[in-house]
Structure formats: C-alpha cells, structure tokens
Structure 1
Amino acid sequence: MKNIGVAVIGLGGIGTLRAHSCAQIPQVGHLAICDIDPGKLDKFSETIKADIVTENYEEAINDERIQAVIVSTDEESHYGPAKLAAELGKPVLIEKPFVLNLDEADDIIAKAKQNGSLAFVGYTQRFRKRYLLAKESVEAGHLGDVVMAFGKIYVTRAVGEAVARRSPNTTPSINTLTYMVDLILWYMEGKTPVEVYARSASKVFKPYNRDDFQWMIVTFDD
C-alpha cells in the first residue's frame, strides 16, 4: 500500500486522537494538522511532528500532498472543510453529527458524488463487536424480517454540560442519540423512513436552554 497524506482539521478531544493515530500509521506519509487555536497547534506539532501545521483549513486540504481529510471541528464548522474536500475529490471522514443543516448535508453529498469523493460520518459504534454481531444476525436472516427495533442511550450530566457549553446549536440528544438512530437505520437497511414523531423536554439542562431527554418514533415504508 502506498503512502498517503491525511489532513486532520480541528484538534479537540477527538481530533487529537485522530491525529495521534495517523502519526502512528506507517502508510500515512504526510500529516497536516489544523486548528484555529495557535496554542493547540504549537503543543501538538511538537508531539505529533506533523508536516503541515496551519490555522487555515483551506491550506491544509488544498496541499497536493494530502489525499484524505478528517473533519473534527465543532459541529457548526463541519461544512466548510467537508465541502472543500468533496469538491477536490478527496475522501473525507466527518465526525458526528454530520452537519446541523439539511441543505449543507445535501450539498456535501452531491459534491462528493460529482467529484468521485467518498464522504463518511464517524459512527464508530458500528465497529463495536456487539453491534457488528447484531448486524450479521440481521443480514443472515436469523431474526426473520425485522419489523421493529427499540434502542435507548444515556449520557452523563457532565457530558451533557460539556456539549451545551461547546456549541450553541447542539444538544445532548444531537450529540449522543444520533448514535442510536444510525445503528437502527443500519439494521433496517433497505427500508426507507417516511415519518418521524418526536417529543422532548428540558429540566436538568434548562439553564443552557437545551432539551435533556428525547423520545422518537420512526416509521418505515413497510
């Protein structure tokens, strides 16, 4: 396998993990790191030894040595770098949630198709053994025709508060429940959602003007 160049855009908690992982992969021949905080760049450029260190994501993604992009910024900032990577035909991994606007999501997907790029969302739960085994059982027909799925997921108050402080447009539900939505849609692959009914309320996170629990029912076409 030939060496490739990877750009990691955003050096938050997940971005630093991605950058450290890339730095340890022999097939990654060039590594770019990007963040709007120069202090983070100074700190991690010393430990990661990146080839490209910049506060400008366009500089990192446009570099001809870069063939793949990881977008791990805050949710509000996913669109710009993801769109640019798709326009350039470079595969892009976007941390969940994808984006916070349906028009932006459609635009990234369309540009990826037009330019032969691949756009992935970082739904890492799909790679956990228990969820993989469930998927294999569904595909093998061991469960018959799956007509209903029920899932629930919890988040600690500390995580919820961190999410609320991080972004004005993200809620604990968007940050965490999206994992469960993805898994169930994955298990129901081939079926099309036609209706969503949801209710939520706020109590614990009311000071942040956020809902702290949410229920939803998704109806499929069959």
Structure 2
Amino acid sequence: MNKKIRIGVIGAGSFASRRHIPIVVQSPDAELVALCRRNKEMLKKVAEHFKCDNIFTDYKEMLDSVQMDGVIIATPHALHYENAKLALEKGLHVLVEKPLTVKTKEAEEIAKIANDKGLIVVVALNPPYWQHTNYVRELIQSGEIGEIEEVNISWIGNAEHVFGLAPMPDNLPGIVPPTIFRGDSKLGGGGHFIDSGSHLLSELFWTTGLNACEINAIMDNPEFDMRTIMSVKLENSALCN
C-alpha cells in the first residue's frame, strides 16, 4: 500500500476551505494532518467541518509539532515568504497561493532553498491546468498559427468587496467568511494587480512559452491599485498588454 502524503494547511481560511482542503480530504493519496489559522473561532469551524484534530494558531508550532510531507500556504500575501521559508527549512514541500512572495529577492531566496534541498515549491496558478489555455499553448508552440507578434489580455470585474471598498456579499460560498486582508496594502503587498494580475501573466507565459525581457506599467495608485495597464515585451520581441 502506498503511503499517503501528509498535508498541513497554513492559512485555513475561506479560500483554503473552498478549494484546497476539500481536494486534500477527497484524495486517496493524501491525508489532512493539521490546520493553522490565527482566528481560533474560525479555525475550529473549519477543523470541525473537515474532522481535523490537530489545530494551531501559530504556524511555527504546527511545523514543530506535526509530522508532515508538505504544506499548503493560503495566508495573506506578505506572509508567504516567512511561511514558505520555514516550511522548506523543515524539509517540507510547499504549495503556496499566488503570489509566491511580494518581493523579488524573497522569491529568489525561496527558489534557492528549495533547489538546494531538493524540495518542490509550486505556486497555485490556474493556467497550466485550464483546457482552453492548453489548447492555445498547443496552437502557438506547434507553430500552427505562426510566430506570436502581439498579445492582448483583459480582465474586467468587480472585486471591491475583497479589498474592503464595498460591502461583503452575504451569499459567498465557504465554511467561513473571507477576511479583508487585501484592504491592507502591507499585508496584501499592494492592490488588485499583485492579487489577480499573476493569473494574466501566468496565462501569457504559459501559452507562449516565452519569457519577458521588458515590462512597463501604469497604475491608478502604485501603493494600492485597482486599475493597471501593463505592457510586456517578450524575448521574441512580441508586444503584449
């Protein structure tokens, strides 16, 4: 019998309770062994729903106390670095919600630690798993539609409630309600683009298979943006916005 992969969750909040934790408990190859969240009342609700006995309000205590193979990190963006760094130093594989970190040097350090220790770090981005992006990727990389010269991607939607700029809807799914950490630019690492723009960049790089060599951006507020226009020059000189 194959050994189940023991998973702990740091940041057992609304999103983790809707997306990550159900997948773990439903998988025949994984076992949910610990949950961590700073809000003890909300943590108990999640733990009771998923029948997890090991609960912690301090992720360091969880990493020291429970035998695990890997962790899922779904904490506020600015905490990803310290959460992932310590988990890697403990010898654990890491799946972390986007963005990996809020600073380039932090991301580079996380990558180096993982490489040095032979561990896996995965950022939870959707495009590599979407059917339509894989279809577009095949069209582009097979050469069927020729060399890419220009790419345009737009994302228009209302996310003001998760930034604390509008009332939170009463009918949101999940075991517990979401927090409004995105309304704090220090915890969120910025505004809307660092939260959701990574999906668009991931889609661009995944489908084209190309890296960026030049990036420019205009934001309505660089400290806490709600609207951003970005121009990207790819390594084949294609222009994207």
Asked whether the two chains share a fold, i.e. TM above 0.5, the reply is: yes
CA offset at residue 60 of structure 1?
A: 2.5
- What amino acid does structure 1 have at the position aligned with 2:216? Y
Using CA pairs below 8 Å that are at least 6 residues apart, which structure has the higher relative contact order? 2
What per-residue deviation string (whole Å, max 9, x for no partner) do you get for residues 32-69 of structure 1? 11011111221122111114211121233345631011
Matched, 1:9 2:10: yes
For the Cα contact (< 8 Å) 1:78–1:98, is it kept in 2? Answer: yes
Matched, 1:158 2:172: no
Runs of 4 or more, structure 1, over 6 Å off, are none
For the Cα contact (< 8 Å) 2:34–2:55, is it kept in 1? Answer: yes
Structure-1 residue corresponding to 2:169: none
Gap regions ≥5 residues in structure 2: 166-179, 237-241
What per-residue deviation string (whole Å, max 9, x for no partner) do you get for residues 147-182 of structure 1? 322111123033453564254433012211221011
Distance 1:2 1:136, change over 3 A: farther
In terms of mean alpha carbon deviation, does 172-181 or 140-149 score higher?
Answer: 140-149
Structure-2 residue corresponding to 1:220: 234
Distance (whole Å) between structure 2 residues aligned to residue 64 and residue 35 of structure 1:
15
Distance (whole Å) between structure 2 residues aligned to residue 54 and residue 25 of structure 1:
23
Q: TM-score, normalised by structure 1?
A: 0.87
CA offset at residue 12 of structure 1?
A: 2.1
For the Cα contact (< 8 Å) 1:193–1:221, is it kept in 2? Answer: yes
Distance (whole Å) between structure 2 residues aligned to residue 9 and residue 194 of structure 1:
34
Structure-1 residue corresponding to 2:56: 54
What is the aligned-residue identity percentage?
24
Distance 1:91 1:3, change over 3 A: same
The CA RMSD measured in Å over matched residues stands at: 2.2
Structure-1 residue corresponding to 2:224: 210
Tell me how many residue pairs correspond in the alignment. 216
What per-residue deviation string (whole Å, max 9, x for no partner) do you get for residues 112-151 of structure 1? 0000111111112332221121122223222222232211
Gap regions ≥5 residues in structure 1: none
- What amino acid does structure 2 have at the position aligned with 1:52? N
Structure-2 residue corresponding to 1:181: 201
Distance 1:221 1:24, change over 3 A: closer
